[in-house]
Amino acid sequence: MAPIFARSKCYEDTLPTLKELRSKGVKTGIVSNTSWGSPAELWRSEIRRLGLDSLIDSVVFDRDVGWRKPSERIFKFAMKSLGVQPDECLFVGDEPKWDLIGPRAVGIEAILIDRNVDIRNAERRSIKNLHELALQF
């Protein structure tokens, strides 16, 4: 995983947006599939390295649940870990196949972040950066 983690980074809007959401009392979480069967703990270490851990309330990987996105089970697990109901959630993802079907199946509003404006269309609500997200709260 070292070559993958060597390329990872936070976008310039990630930490400021998470800090702003935290200051507004918004709970945040990460729901993600791990790559190639890699252990979730490696990914948790990467989250700490990137400085996200102190700004995120819950991290749920497919390895924690036994089901990958878009399974409803991973989203239900994440809601339980945050202590929230579907109508209190907004899921932001970057892949329509994984990040719209699953959350919407359990009643969570889902939007796409499309930094390159490649997947926007009238049928999909999307944002181009996380600053747009923070404006909604």
Question: Does residue 128 contact residue 115 with C-beta atoms inside 8 Å?
Answer: yes
Q: What is the mean pLDDT of residues 116-130?
A: 74
Token reading at 118: 């490649």
Pairing of strands 126-127, 109-113: parallel
CATH number at residue 7: 3.40.50.1000
Residue 120 has pLDDT above 70, yes or no: no
Domain containing residue 6: 2-134
**Cα angle value 20/45/89 (rounded, 5°):** 40
Residue 136: per-residue pLDDT: 84
Q: What is the mean pLDDT of residues 13-36?
A: 96
Question: Does residue 136 contact residue 21 with C-beta atoms inside 8 Å?
Answer: no
Q: What is the mean pLDDT of residues 71-85?
A: 98
Domain count, the chain: 1
Residue 126: per-residue pLDDT: 87
